[in-house]
Amino acid sequence: MPPRMTTASTLTTSAPTGSTATPAEPADVQAFFNQSWQIYQKLLCYNYMGHQQIYTLLHDLWRNRFRGNFSLLDLGCGDAWYAAQALRGTLIEHYHGVDLSEVALAIAAENMAGLRGKQTFSQADLLQFVRTCPDKFDLILTSFALHHLSLAEKAEFLSRIPHLLNPGGRLLLVDVCRRSGEDRASYIQRYTRQMQRDWTEMSRAELEILSDHIASSDLPESVEIWTDLAYRYGFPKVECLYSHSDQASKLLCFYRG
């Protein structure tokens, strides 16, 4: 399966207290994916984080529930390979992909070639983009792009999303989440143990690189925290559409009022 590059953004704000680790700098996260590209490719190939199920579900959602033309903003789009597959056969009218990586965006444009509708690509920090974007969209997707941010930064990001959605619009958030009541240290211990046990096609050295990255950079929130933020910033309903067998990767749908 072709790889999908995901990058992160720097978001600066003040908001509620949350995860206690220091957020990763975007250059650090980008360096991890640049240096460990083959590892990430392998991770996707063996579907260890549930990408295949998640994007199959998104394809069904976009094809069956959106009978008319729709627009999609993809924040942290990477190379957009999975998004392109999920959009095939849909009535996408405008796709706008945003990412920090110029290389990933160039590949994204190639992967999106042949799909119907207008396509736009922006190299930008995610928060800076949502602060200044004048457009509105029917759907906003962000996939494995927010778990490197502090809770305050996630809150700043989420507070700006309703202004970018058309009435009845939805935010689709794909990311790793902690269990209810689980702190960050317990999550990392559980997740890395599962990796060691279940990711059998990864070498010991590869698992060590991934474990070090997770321990130093990942700041996942629980579904309850995401739901609390949603209510605070104008989303009256949040629904978990998919939960992976690892009890971490989830697809959450935020409905705009």
Span 131-188, pLDDT tens digits: 999 999 999 999 999 999 999 999 999 999 999 999 999 999 999 999 999 999 999 9
pLDDT for 14 beyond 50: no
Question: In terms of Cα–Cα distance, which of 51, 241, 230 is closest to 154?
Answer: 230
Q: What is the pLDDT of residue 213?
A: 93
Q: Does the predicted TM-score (pTM) go above 0.75? A: yes
Q: What are phi and psi of 12, to 5 degrees?
A: -120, 120
What are the tens digits of pLDDT across the range 193-227?
999 999 999 999 999 999 999 999 999 999 999 99
Q: Measuring CA to CA, how many Å separate 130 from each of 9, 18, 74, 138? A: 12, 22, 11, 15
Kindly indicate the confidence band of residue 28, based on its pLDDT and cuts at 50, 70 and 90: low
**Domain covering 29-255 assigned CATH 3.40.50.920 in the classification:** no
β-sheet bridge partners, residue 251: 174, 242
Query: Which of 223, 226, 216, 149 lies closest to 185 in space, CA to CA?
Result: 216
Phi, psi (deg, nearest 5) at residue 80: 60, 20
